[in-house]
Amino acid sequence: MTRVSIPPLVDIGANLTHESFAADFADVIARARSAGVERIMLTGTDLPTSHEAALLSTQQPDLFAATAGFHPHVASTFTAEAATAIAELATRSEVVAVGECGLDYNRDFSPREAQISAFEAHLEIAAATHKPLFLHQREAHEDFYKILSARRADLVGGVVHCFTDTRAALEAYLDLDMYIGITGWVCDERRGKDLQEIVRHIPLDRLLVETDAPYLLPRTLKPRPKTRRNEPCYLPEVVTRIAECYGCEFDDIARHSTLNAHRLFTLGMGHAEKRR
Ligand SMILES: [Zn+2]
C-alpha cells in the first residue's frame, strides 16, 4: 500500500488517445497510478477517439471510462452517420458521458451554425440514453446557456469541463445543477488569475478535477517537465492549487472531487471504492 498517504483522485478529462501518448502509454499510466490517480476518463472528441476511448475502457474497466462525442472544433464533420455512431456508443456501459461537445467561439474552427446543431444533437443523445454530458464552452456562454437550459429538464446532468469563464457564468451553470471541471488553467499565474478568485465559489459537492492532458500543463510544476505534454500524473498539482484557492486541505478537494466523479458518472467499483 504505497499510495496510502495519497487520496485517490479521478481525472475526469484526459485525451490519452492523443498521438503524443502512443510511444509510452504504459509509463504514463504507471506514473498516474503512483501519483494517486485511480480512475481516468478518456475524452472522445471525434469518431476515432471516441471508439478508441471505449475500447481502452473495456480492456481496463477498473482504470478507464470513456466519453463519446464531437468537440465543437470538429462540429462541421458531425454527419448523420456520425450521430448514429455516437448514439450507439453512448448506450454502452463503458461510455459514461456524452461529449466532449459544446460551443467554442474562441477559435471558431467550425462555423457557429454547425457547432450549435452538433451541440443540440449531443443533448438529444444524452437525453435519450440518460447519460450525463461532458461539456466544452469557450467564449460562448450566452448561446451555450440558452441551448443547455432549454433541454435541462430532459438531461440527467453533466460537467462544464475546463471552466474558465466568469463568476456570473459559474452561477448560471450551478443554477442548472451542473458540475464544474477545473484544469491546470488554475495554475496559470497570468490567464488563470480570474479563475483563482472564482474557484472557491464552486460548492464542494459540484467540483471535479481534470488534467485535459496532453494540453494545459500546470505552469506551477517544479521542476518543470522537459516536455510541454501534460499527463494525468500531474493532477495532484491541480488539486494542490485548488485547495489553496479554497483555503482548505488537499485531502478535502481530493475526497470531494472523487466522490463527485463517482456520483455523476456512476463509475462503479474502482480501486477507490473497494478500499472504503
Ligand atoms: Zn474542452
How far apart CA 41 and CA 12 sit, in angstroms, is 5
* Residue 102 domain-assigned (yes or no): yes
Q: How many domains does the chain have?
A: 1
First to last CA, the chain: 14
The pTM assigned to this predicted structure is: 0.95
- Is residue 244 included in any domain, yes or no? yes
CA angle 235–63–246, rounded 5-degree value: 30
Give the Å distance between the CA of 184 and the centre of ligand 1. Answer: 13
Q: How far is the CA of 75 from the centre of ligand 1 (A)?
A: 13
Whether 128 is in a domain gets the answer yes
Domain membership flag for residue 115: yes
- What's the CA gap between 52 and 18, in Å, rounded? 10
Domain membership flag for residue 1: no
4 alpha carbon – ligand 1 mean position (Å): 32
Of 153, 147, 50, nearest in space to 97 by CA = 50
For ligand 1, an ion, list residues with CB under 5 A. Answer: 136, 162
Bridge partners (DSSP) listed for residue 103: 137
CA distance 239 to 247: 12
Q: Is the bond preceding 214 in cis, omega lying within 30 degrees of 0?
A: yes
Tell me the CA–centroid distance for residue 62 and ligand 1, in Å.
24
For residue 42, report the distance from its CA to the centre of ligand 1, in Å.
Answer: 12
Asked if residue 4 belongs to a domain, the reply is no
Measuring CA to CA, which residue among 44, 17, 19, 37 is closest to residue 261? 37
Residue 2, domain member (yes or no) = no
Can you tell me whether residue 179 is helix, strand or coil? strand
Q: Which residue has the cell 456508443?
A: 89
Residue 268 CA to ligand 1 centre (angstroms): 24
Instruction: Measure 275 CA to ligand 1 centroid, in angstroms.
Output: 32
Cα(270) to centroid(ligand 1), Å: 25
Dihedral sign of CA atoms 12, 129, 45, 30 in order: positive
60 lies in which domain range? 9-274
Nearest CA-CA partner of 101 in 64, 127, 92 = 127
Helix (H) or strand (E) holding 119: helix 112-129
Ligand 1 centre distance from Cα of residue 163 (Å): 9
Q: Is 65 part of any domain?
A: yes
Please tell me the distance between residue 103's alpha carbon and the centre of ligand 1 in angstroms: 9
Assess contact for 137 and 156: CB atoms under 8 A. Answer: no
Q: Kindly give the confidence (pLDDT) of every residue in the chain, 276 residues in length, as a single tens digit, with 9 standing for 90 and above.
A: 444 466 799 999 999 999 999 999 999 999 999 999 999 999 999 999 999 999 999 999 999 999 999 999 999 999 999 999 999 999 999 999 999 999 999 999 999 999 999 999 999 999 999 999 999 999 999 999 999 999 999 999 999 999 999 999 999 999 999 999 999 999 999 999 999 999 999 999 999 999 999 999 999 999 999 999 999 999 999 999 999 999 999 999 999 999 999 999 999 754 444 444
Residue 224 C-alpha to ligand 1 middle, in angstroms? Answer: 24
Other C-beta atoms within 10 Å of 85: how many?
Answer: 15
Ligand 1 centroid to Cα of residue 230, in Å, is 14
Burial class (CB in 10 A: 0-12, 13-18, 19+), 217: buried
pLDDT given for residue 208 in this prediction: 98
Q: What is the pLDDT of residue 129?
A: 98
What is the CA(162)–ligand 1 centre distance, in A?
6
Distance (Å) from CA 183 to ligand 1 centroid: 10
Show the cell assigned to 58: 473495456
CATH of the domain at 147: 3.20.20.140
What's CA 124's distance to the chain center, in Å? Answer: 20
